[in-house]
Amino acid sequence: GQNIDQPTEMTATEGAIVQINCTYQTSGFNGLFWYQQHAGEAPTFLSYNVLDGLEEKGRFSSFLSRSKGYSYLLLKELQMKDSASYLCAAMDSNYQLIWGAGTKLIIKP
């Protein structure tokens, strides 16, 4: 079956670094997406990886290992506004997104 696993909740300190992991199992693979979702709002696109390696975009970076079915989202210099849920989604062979349940990130001062 198809499955996405990510931690339910994480806590970090303002100014620190946090890594949110995601493992996936899909029928075929056409890329791994990370979205940010603030409470009561729709998700916003953060990153896309289809090749192995690290993609850096400002304070956020995303890593993919296709052989391990593994990705992580790295957030640096955490700010209070980064408190949100982070959704991992893998695109399968039918170009459908398979969603994880999301990781709620709590930032403390």
**From 16, 17, 50, 54, residue interacting with another protein (rule: CB under 8 A):** 50
Binders of another protein among residues 10 to 49 (CB under 8 A) are 30-31, 33, 35, 40-45, 48
Q: In what order do the strands lie in the sheet with 53-57?
A: 3-5, 18-25, 70-75, 60-65, 53-57
* 101 near another protein, judged by CB under 8 A: yes
With CB under 8 A as the rule, give the number of residues binding another protein.
Answer: 20
- State in angstroms the smallest separation of the CB of 50 from another protein: 6
Count Cβ atoms below 10 Å from residue 47 Cβ, excluding itself. 19
CA pair distance 68, 24, nearest whole angstrom: 9
- State in angstroms the smallest separation of the CB of 15 from another protein: 28
Strand partners, 60: 57, 75
Q: Closer to another protein by CB, 73 or 87: give it.
A: 87
CA pair distance 19, 100, nearest whole angstrom: 16
Query: Using CB under 8 A as the criterion, which residues of the chain lie in contact with another protein when the complex forms?
Result: 30-31, 33, 35, 40-45, 48, 50, 87, 95-97, 99-102
